[in-house]
Amino acid sequence: MKLFSEDILPEENPPELETCVEEVGGKKQLFIEGIFMQADIRNRNRRVYPRSVLSEAVENFNTKFISSGRSVGELNHPDGPKINLDKVSHRIDSLRWEGSNVIGKAAILEDMPMGRIAKTLIESGVQLGVSSRGLGDIDHAAGRMRKFILNTVDIVHDPSAPESFVNGVMEGVDYVVGEDDEIRQMQEDIKDLMHKTPKSQHKIAQAVAFR
């Protein structure tokens, strides 16, 4: 599966996020809320996420991450699908459907370095956006996603900017997700295994790498 880092929002006039401050446990908490993703529309990367594909991804994310308190995102996209805890800026509290829209709500983690930066930008009037990050399989001819695993939703500066997404699909890297939800970068695993294995045993090494 390939890594996709992009806003799953309309090609034109993407909706803006709203910010609000709520009192939680006697402390004021800053939240961002709005449309995080949309189904059955062509996004800025000319791709369509069918409702059935996106519904499964959202349901799995709610079950595996939000319900277990592991639904965090980063400020800007990293180079891979895994979460870097030192770059975490927010906690995604909910993802729910309204028509074809996935409405998300996330708490800014002000005690984290990246959370403080996000808070300062928001309070300074900087309009931030959100962009999904996950693994997927696409029908290139139709421009439609066949499978999508949502890893998180990151905060980005301008998800509508074309240059933000030119490297969104890492064509040279494949990932597999194991039964324990561990994400493995296949290309590096295989290359490393092949380097350590005699050529006469390469077929065995390939089998081990894909196991």
Contact by Cβ (8 Å): 136, 147: yes
- The angle formed by the CA atoms of residues 171, 47 and 98, to the nearest 5 degrees, is 130
Tokens of 83: 């979460």
Tokens of 77: 């996209």
Is 77 an annotated catalytic residue? yes
CA distances in angstroms from 18 to 23, 30, 105, 118, 179, listed in the order given: 17, 11, 10, 14, 37
Among 132, 112, 16, 144, CA closest to 65? 132
Among 181, 168, 30, CA closest to 105? 30
Q: Which of 5, 71, 89, 131 is catalytic?
A: 131
Q: Which of 5, 77, 89, 90 is catalytic?
A: 77
Cα distance between residue 92 and residue 104, in whole Å: 7
Burial class (CB within 10 angstroms; exposed 0-12, middle 13-18, buried 19+) of 36: buried
| Amino acid occupying residue 36 | F
Backbone angles phi and psi of 68, in degrees to 5: -105, 5
Catalytic residues: 77, 131
